[in-house]
Structures are given as structure tokens and as C-alpha cells.
Structure 1
């Protein structure tokens, strides 16, 4: 932006118009004008000059500040340099001016596209009511400074544990779908796709093309990573970029927002940035580091030809093992059949049959003898029982005389004409008492 009046441009940042005194508005007669902005009204307003003077005093009290950004526009006019700086991460830009005394000392590296740090101070042009940022000092950020910042970030992440190998997720042996974040129509994209499908023709991809260099690259990579991480069918995500200048390869992929997004991803992430010598922080945070995009293709899918050859070799070894086992078992069976017991297996049965027959015969003889002895014992007991039975007594000629239900044991129990029932060995006799005889009493032995 060109200064509103080049003829009045001062030699330095302190040469602009300033209000008298210690930054308060000039003490001209203002009548009954309010002292504070909050006290103004439609009936009692401030003069425009007073507002401008107060703004100038307030703005120019701000201290000089060091800021970092990328130069997107640089124009020189009459010894002054008018530039536009852009934020390294967000879409925010700011015009800055370097007056002649400062512009003369600017480094040759201060040119469009350069990453710079500058000390700026706000300045308000009273007559035109315009705000500008005056550059007191500016220098490009060297690669060494940037790499030092990268190492500081690496150490900080290591202290947080984000570089710990224990937290890394395993990459699936055969992913169903591969997410690929890479440059638009880049060689890295072609390398990954071609070499992956050469190894595994059925490989499926979800490709997101983004900027892989420049200040907007980290943001675009983070957005693509988040989009792929949200897809359930994506099993692994590859972030790939080909080789290039150190600041183009290492710096964008050492951005803190990007590496923290990779650390927080639920899907395993493979870093395939640049060449073997390139080492962005992304390599340390990712779940797997590939030295190149081509190496990433080798690391994420198996080689179908090698797997087929391995299967064929496994089949051969399995067939040989089965054949060897069959031969061993056949030899074992042959040895078993050569044993005597297997040559005449009926001999054992016959021997046991003879033994069984002998035991059966012995059992029969023993049982017969025992039955004979028990039969004799039964006959003896039967004879004894019979000898003691009343029938035997009757058979010897005795009789049982009853009078009614009572057995007559004494002649005095009956009298003449009593009816008696006489039980003999074979039958009964009905009798009538005609007389009784009582034997004399026996003499007792003294």
C-alpha cells in the first residue's frame, strides 16, 4: 500500500504527525464538548478531528511487536517498501510499510514468498484516517532457525510421550481400503498407486489430493486426514509427498497441528515423506515410517506373487509331511502285524476258552457235591422232624380223645353218657362213655 502522501513521508516511523503534549488531543477551544466518548450525543457530538486525535493517541501507545508470516506482496516506491504479510496457518493478511531508512537495510532475502519475522508498530495517519503497520526491522527466517524449531517441537512431543513406540498402532497385514493423502496429480500419488497395485491388484483406495507445500499445506492435510479417519472402511492412511527442498519437505510436515492430528487419529497412519534423509516430525509420530512413497507401497500390502509362491511352497511341504506321516504309520502297522499275537490272534481266544471250560467244569462238580451234601442234610432233618410229629405217635397206635374242643387227659374229666371224639392215625371215632377207671395214686418214695 502506498503512503497517502509520498512527499510528506517521514524518514522513519517516528516522523508522523503526533498530537501535542503526552498524546492527548490539542487543547483548542471546543466549547462544551464532552470529555469522553460515552458522554457524546446527537445534540452534543465531538468534532471529527478530536476522534481522530484520540484514536491516533490510543493506537500509537501500542508497543512494537515481533510477528512471523510469509510475504505475498512486495513493492518499492521512492525508497519506501510496501508489503503484505500472510499468516503461516490461517487465511489472515496484513499490509506493512518499511520507510526509506529501514528499507535500505532490508536483507535481499526479503522478497515475495519468503518467510520473515518483523518488528511492527501501528501508526494512524491523522488526515486520511488510515491505519498502517510500520516496520522497524525485518529479516527472513533461515532454514537453520526453522530446523531448530522443528527439533524443539520434536523434544516437546517426546516429553509428552507422543513419540513412544508403545503407543503406535499396528498396520493391518492386508487393508481392505487404503486412505491416501498426497499432492494433486503428484509423482508420489502415482508411485503409491502403481506400486501398491503391482503388489496387490485388488487394493482399493480413498484418495484426497491436497497442497503438500506452502503455508496452507498443514491445514489441508489435517482436514483430509480427519475426513479419512472418519470413514469406517478405511483401514490405514498414507500421507505421501515426493522429494524436494528441505524447507518444502520437512517444514510443512513438522507442523504441530498436523503431528498432533496424526497422533490423535484412530486409524493407523503411514508417513511417506520425501527421501530417506528427510526426517519431518511426522515420521516420528506416525504409526509407521516409510522412507519413500514407493517404500510405503511395499509396507502396506503384501506381494501377491510372493504370497502365491509361499502358498505353493506350503502346499508342497504339507503334502510331503502328510506322505511322511502316512509312511511312518504304515511301518508301525506292519511292525504290529508281525508280532506273534497279531499273526495268530485266535490262539489267545482258544487258550482263554479252554481255561473257561475248565473253570466251568470245576464249578459244576463243586456245585453237584454241594447239592448232594445239602440234600442229605435235608433228609436227615426231615426224618427228625417226622419222628417228632403227632402223626408218628398216632401211627404207633395212640389216639387223641376230645370232648368238644378240649383234649381229655384225665378220666375224671368225663362221665357216663358223655360224647367223645377219638382221633386215630387214619380217621375219627365217635364214642359214648360207659364208664371210667381212675388208677390208684402212686406211692411216694420216702
Structure 2
């Protein structure tokens, strides 16, 4: 059975006499001061029903520490495996058992088992440590939202149709050649669909594009029908092994997505209907992706997150939103979350102009916020928000600091674009980045 902590730490652990080595040593000490963090991760990695036989696997704290190394240094799993073997400082921080050198596949399999909710809880435990030691007081907070992109290409109806045709055809090829399912018949339209997709891309004018789309839709519907027949044949073999059941699930899921793409293409291109963003599918690989539009900026494809940071730039809280809700609707819930998480309402709250409204101002005051500042007043009087104009300007300057926090998260911790697959993977990467950022930030604050 997997151990929670390394029962026999090496006496040879050492950290390099370098700024990075000192930082890793301080980060390790911080994690030791919060033993509840390992206890929270333990439930994701240890199966109590498993028999105490066989290999034990990496200790829970080693998995967590390896995840922090990966996220804080922005390493691939291949690079992480190399540094864990090569660097004494990395091995000391990771607390790997003596002689154990994990492979990249083992690192990925273990790190991905930590659930998004667990990352969120351990971040809250870390922030409780920051509050108890005085690194942060939670009295003055600032809020802002940003978009984190998913790992998808620029979507278009033609490219999505081509993706669906390619994915279903590839699955039918697998069923016939690798799974040896008899009776599967289909025509390979991948080359023709790819050619039509290129023609759609280079053709200008809706009138000229329409017949090209009709031909592409015809191929997509034909592939749907062929995959339906193949699905019937493979479903009969599900009892022969999990590989058949997995094929059935993948094809069923892909068919549902392709059917949705066909419907939205017909509505938009053939019928000339304006399809709402909430009803659009923008990726067959990451179907959870939302369309994010912020002001007059370019459209982004991913998920919107709201961040709440304190005086020292620590991320006290974050929410990953569904769809593209307006900032104005999220202001009061974010303040209420501070009460739920930390047991008190901040005395001062600074936020971007997108959160500004009369109901939000009144609601914040009713909750017990003494000083409120919106970067753009939007008709609100300064004396209604803050006690003095000087304090209002101070809070506005304080709010601007959240932009640097977001910039650092995007540049140094991978929040510009999430590379982890699926919605759970996306959420886990966002929270692991926030946790790693806070851990590094706290180590720097203590060192100074």
C-alpha cells in the first residue's frame, strides 16, 4: 500500500547554495508546517480497499511535491523525470524514497489523480497558514477576472466537421484492422473532407461557401450513418473485453458531438440563423470549452476565472466559471466566499470597473465592507464608495496590482493556456498553478 509520507527520508538530502535551492528549502518547510495538506491529498491517491501487497508506489507527499515542481518550473513530465534524477535539490524537495527514480509515465499517472477539489482545499489550507502567521490578513482584497485558454485550434464549422469525419473514420479503421470486427464497411472521406475544408477557408462570400458546406455536411452525415452501423456490430462484442467497451464509448461520444456540429452548421450557414455562443460547440477534443469575449478584445476559447488576491499578492480564492457570466454578477458572491472560507468579510474591496453597479455597492456595504473602490466609477459617487477621495485613489492603485498577479500566473505558471485534457484536467491545472504560485510567493515573503 502507498505510504502517505516517506518513512525513511535520506540523511544525504541537501539543497544547493543558490537562490533556487534556498527557495525550495523554504517551500519544503512551509509544506511541513501544513501537515493537513498531505492528509487532503491522501484520499485521492490511497485506496483503503487495496491489499497491502505489491509495489507501494510513490509516497503521497512525493507526488504532491513533484506536482509543485512541475508547475512552478513549467516542466514537461519528461523534463521533470530528468531533473528528479539529475538534481539533488529537486530530489531533496520531492522526498523521493532512496534509489527511486520515477518515470514520466508514473509521474503523469500519479499527479493527474489529484482532483481539482483537492487542489482547491489544499490552497485554502495554505492560505489559512498565511493568515495565522500574519503573511496575509484578508482585510483588504482586490478582484479581477481573466480567461484561461484550452488547448484547441481556432474553431470554424468546416474545421469541426473535418475533425468529426477524421475521428470517426479513424475509429472505424481501428475496429476493422486492430479489433478485427467482421462486417464493418465504410468509405474513407477524410481526404475529400480535408480538401473541402481548405476550399471553405480560402473562399470569400457566404453564397460561394454554401455549396461547399453542403457537400461537407453530406460527407459528415454519411460518416454518421456508417459509424452507426459499425457501432451495432461492436456493441455485440463488448463482453469480449474492455477494449470493445472503450471503443463503443468513444464512438458514441464523438457521434453526439459531430451531430451537434452538423446542427449548428445547418442553423448558421444553411438557414442563416444567429447561433448563441452558449449553444455552440467549438472543439471536439475539448467540448467543455467556452467562448470568452471581454470588452473589445479578441475572442478567447477556454474558461473565465475570477481571482481574489490580498495585500501581498497571494491568491486567496478563485472561481472557474461556466460560460461567460458578466463580472457584475460575480462581485457579491466573491465577497460572500471570503466569509465562507476565512470567517470574515474584508474591510476594503477593490475591483475592476466591470464589477461596478449600484446594487453591488449597496450589497457590499450591507455585507459589512467599509471601503469599496471600482476602477471605473460608472456614475457612482466616490463618497458613496469610500470615506475619502484619497483612500479611493489608494484602493484603485492597490487594485492595479492584481494585473501583475495575473500576468505572473500566465507567464510563469502556465495559466495562459491549459494543456491538461478534459474539464477536470483544466480545473486541476488551474488550481495546481494557483497553489504553486502561492507556495513560491510565501517562501519569498518569508525570506524577505
Q: TM-score, normalised by structure 2?
A: 0.23
**Greater percentage in strand:** 1
Larger Cα Rg: Structure 1 or Structure 2? 1
Structure in which a larger fraction of residues adopt helix: 2
Q: TM-score, normalised by structure 1?
A: 0.23
